[in-house]
Amino acid sequence: MAGPAKKFRPDQMGYYNKAEVSRVNYKPPLEDWMDTKPEFKIGNFIYPAKSKNLLYVGLPNPREWAPMDEDWKLPENWKEILLEGIAERLEKYRSFRLFMDICVRCGACADKCHFFIGGGDPKNMPVLRAELLRSVYRKHFTTAGKILGRMAGARDLTYDVVKEWFFYFFQCTECRRCSVFCPYGIDTAEITIIGRELLNLIGLNVNWVLEPVANCYRTGNHMGIQPHAYKEMTEFLLEDAEAITGVKIEPDFNRKGAEILFITPSGDIFGDPGTYTFMGYHILFHYLKSMGLDLTWSTYASEGGNFGLFTSHEMMKRLNAKMYAEAKRLGVKWILGGECGHMWRVINQYMGTMNGPADFLEEPVSPITGTKFENANSTKMVHICEFTADLIKHNKLKLDPSRNDHITATFHDSCNPARGMGFFEEPRYVIKSVCNKFYEMPENTIREQTFCCAGGSGLGTDEMMEMRLRGGLPRGNAVQYVHEKHGVDHLACICAIDRATLVTLCNYWAPQVTVTGTHEMVGNALILDGEQKRTTDLRGRPLKGMEEEADV
Amino acid sequence: MATIDFKGKTYEVDEDGFLAGGLADWDEGWVDYVKDIEGIPVVGDEHWKCVNFLQDYYKKNGIAPMVRIFSKVTGYPLKKIYELFPSGPGKGACKMAGLPKPTGCV
């Protein structure tokens, strides 16, 4: 077997030979699963959270430690803390107790996880990943487990078990594909969520999650962008938009009395290709201004994402609070939310009761079409794709889909909007309205069965490269399939993590395919009053038939 | 924390090899060190233009600039930045300038 290319490091894509990664070994080890230990190596775990980030948000046990070291510098009473933590959560979350008790280990979920499909590690079968915690639950919280021990699938909570939890609960993206197939409806993501929450009690957390959390707590967004920088970055991107469209767009920040507050992930203002979606939002809002849209952006509620979800329920609540706080401060009527994945899980499943009721807000009504978004009555927050789809349905947008004729698109359902809120049609309707060439990936890889980008829930960092590539195989395979069959060259999505992580995934598994946001394509197609002849798309690439005229 | 000994100086670094103390610990010796590990033959004016801009931006904003601003202000397209810093704007240029690695949905 050829070894990895020497010039690459394990945190780089080029290190991993595609043919070797494609040959997945599904043969389980000979030993019983309780007797195997994970092998930590660069590529399959994430660096620990830096002390400064734990200190900033007041999380316990800030220190320097490394997963590859023997001693993880846990507090002396770590076992007591964890067992108390489990007991507390069994009382607090009925779902957790239920999920601990009812699994019959039928195995319906076993081959549904992208990390298992692409990696072959049996402990990445959702049933077994959950069993890592369930076995401890049996031993310490059930009579059968206490008496029968291992015979009843029970095991003591040991230092090695804690290490195993850390390894596998950070090899789950909480995408919930497994839960779609569970006959009992067990949501394995919730088990991972509790698992990570427990690990946080003793200071086991990863920097890729905790730095955004600390930044978000300090500045309102993951990137740590301060208000003056947010404004400058916006103006910079709008200068680019003006060069392409010929239309000057004035951004609007922190304006009291506006009707609508817009909140979107900060990844979209900072990183390509999200920046083009960011330009797309502004182009749309500018277009609607003369039709009565009264919308403002916040430099404080400047993050849609919430890495608190990947830390603990308490942290999720704390970080989410700014949305309603800012809506109240500005006195808006309702909130419009951008293209983000896990943000919508937090909003749709938790926000209304967690930080609500938002009785100071009103039922969202589109100022352009008069449509009442009754579905958003409890949260008062509407998804941008829903908003735009409604505009298109009412014929309110002048669109030239031929301006996306250089694009043959497919759509990646982001896990959380898909499985967390059943959001399937609106983004497709928008994409098909602005782009003439659209093809679906195979049906067992889209909609509620969508395959994860393998970098969600805070795993999208380079030191996790091997697992990201392996876990990306099912999605990458489906993308490559439509590329070969239909010439698909763009993978559209509605999530900022997707826009960051799918780029790597496509570069590896489907290298001719480019990742795009949905409102980037809207921005390409939307015909603005007084615009110049468009020769390029928002990325400065020539439009079809404009190759000669485009000044690129 | 890991340390790097280079030409008589010691630098604390994080797991990705970024300067742990940030700009406070940065000096020209660090530039020399990153030059070596990046395989950059000579640190020329173009490299310094990048390093100086990154540091100025960071001092003003507390974050690294987005790549498009970096590119526009220096006048170097992304391809050129990769020629100057083979590991790219983040793991090459920001590392040399003593900035932390950006995290989040990026």
Q: A74-94, pLDDT tens digit by residue?
A: 999 999 999 999 999 999 999
Q: Report yes or no on B61 lying in a domain.
A: yes
For A324-345, write each residue's pLDDT tens digit: 999 999 999 999 999 999 999 9
The residue of chain A nearest to residue B39, with distances taken between CA atoms, is: A7
A242 touches chain B (CB under 8 A): no
What predicted TM-score, i.e. pTM, was given to this entire model? 0.96
Residue B92 sits in a domain whose CATH number is 1.10.10.370
Could you tell me the strand order of the sheet in which A514-517 lies? A409-411, A490-493, A514-517
Strand partners, A332: none
Is the pLDDT at A4 greater than 60, yes or no? no
Q: Report yes or no on B26 lying in a domain.
A: yes
Q: In which domain, by residue range, is B43 found?
A: 2-97
DSSP H or E run through A296: strand A295-297
Rounded to whole angstroms, the Cα distance separating A313 from A297 reads 27
pLDDT, mean over chain A? 96
* Residue of A464, A475, A458, A544 lying closest to A509 (CA atoms): A475
* One-character DSSP codes across chain B: -EEEEETTEEEEE-TTS-BTTGGGG--HHHHHHHHHHHT-S---HHHHHHHHHHHHHHHHHSSPPPHHHHHHHHT--HHHHHHHSTTHIIIIIIHHHTPPPP-S--
Enter the tokens of residue A284: 């749309």
Q: Report yes or no on B63 lying in a domain.
A: yes
| Model pLDDT, residue B104 | 64
Instruction: Bin A254: left if φ > 0, else alpha if -120 < ψ < 50, else beta.
Output: left
Rounded to whole angstroms, the Cα distance separating A101 from A105 reads 11
* One-character DSSP codes across A276-294: HHHHHHHHHHHHHHTTT--
> What Å distances lie between residue A516 and A502, A529, B104, CA to CA?
10, 25, 18
Closest Cβ opposite residue A271 in set B1, B60, B106 = B106
Rounded to whole angstroms, the Cα distance separating A535 from A470 reads 39
Q: Report yes or no on B103 lying in a domain.
A: no
The residue of chain A nearest to residue B87, with distances taken between CA atoms, is: A12
For A374-403, write each residue's pLDDT tens digit: 999 999 999 999 999 999 999 999 999 999
Rounded to whole angstroms, the Cα distance separating A412 from A403 reads 21
Rounded to whole angstroms, the Cα distance separating A184 from B89 reads 48
For A451-469, write each residue's pLDDT tens digit: 999 999 999 999 999 999 9
Question: A24 CB contacts (<8 Å, ≥6 apart)?
Answer: A117, A118, A119, A120, A470, A473
A89 neighbors A450 (Cβ within 8 angstroms): no
Burial A362-396 (b: 16+ CB within 10 A, else e): eebbbbbbebebeebeebbbbbbbbbbbbbbeeee
Write down the domain spans for chain A: 13-36+60-204, 212-525
Enter the tokens of residue A319: 């970080």
Q: Report yes or no on B102 lying in a domain.
A: no
Alpha helices in A435-495 (DSSP H): 465-471, 473-486
Amino acid code (one letter) for A239: E
Q: Report yes or no on B104 lying in a domain.
A: no
Closest Cβ opposite residue A226 in set B61, B103, B105 = B61
Q: Would you call B62 and A269 a contact, using CB atoms and an 8 Å cutoff? A: no
For A229-248, write each residue's pLDDT tens digit: 999 999 999 999 999 999 99
Is the pLDDT at A6 greater than 70, yes or no? no
**Peptide bond before residue A60 is cis, with ω within 30 degrees of 0:** no
| Model pLDDT, residue B102 | 74
For A93-135, write each residue's pLDDT tens digit: 999 999 999 999 999 999 999 999 999 999 999 999 999 999 9
| Model pLDDT, residue A208 | 96
Q: Report yes or no on B105 lying in a domain.
A: no
Cβ atoms within 10 Å of A47's Cβ, excluding its own: 18
Question: A388 CB contacts (<8 Å, ≥6 apart)?
Answer: A284, A397, A426, A430, A519, A522
Question: Which segments of chain B have a pLDDT < 70?
Answer: 104-106
A344 neighbors A176 (Cβ within 8 angstroms): no
Burial A406-431 (b: 16+ CB within 10 A, else e): bbbbbbbbbbbbbbbeebbebbbbbb
B67 touches chain A (CB under 8 A): yes
The residue of chain B nearest to residue A264, with distances taken between CA atoms, is: B105
Which amino acids of B are annotated catalytic? 105
Distance from CA of A413 to the nearest CA of B (A): 17
| Model pLDDT, residue A5 | 46
Q: Report yes or no on B106 lying in a domain.
A: no
> What Å distances lie between residue A103 and A186, A188, A236, CA to CA?
8, 10, 53
Q: Phi then psi for A343, rounded to 5 degrees?
A: -55, -40
pLDDT-derived band at A1, boundaries 50, 70, 90: very low
CA dihedral A177, A153, A96, A311 (to 10 degrees): -70
Distance from CA of B5 to the nearest CA of A (A): 20
A311 neighbors A200 (Cβ within 8 angstroms): yes
Enter the tokens of residue A167: 């390894």
Q: Would you call B63 and A225 a contact, using CB atoms and an 8 Å cutoff? A: yes
Rounded to whole angstroms, the Cα distance separating A475 from A57 reads 35
B61 touches chain A (CB under 8 A): yes
Q: How many domains does chain B have?
A: 1
pLDDT-derived band at A267, boundaries 50, 70, 90: very high
Amino acid code (one letter) for A15: Y
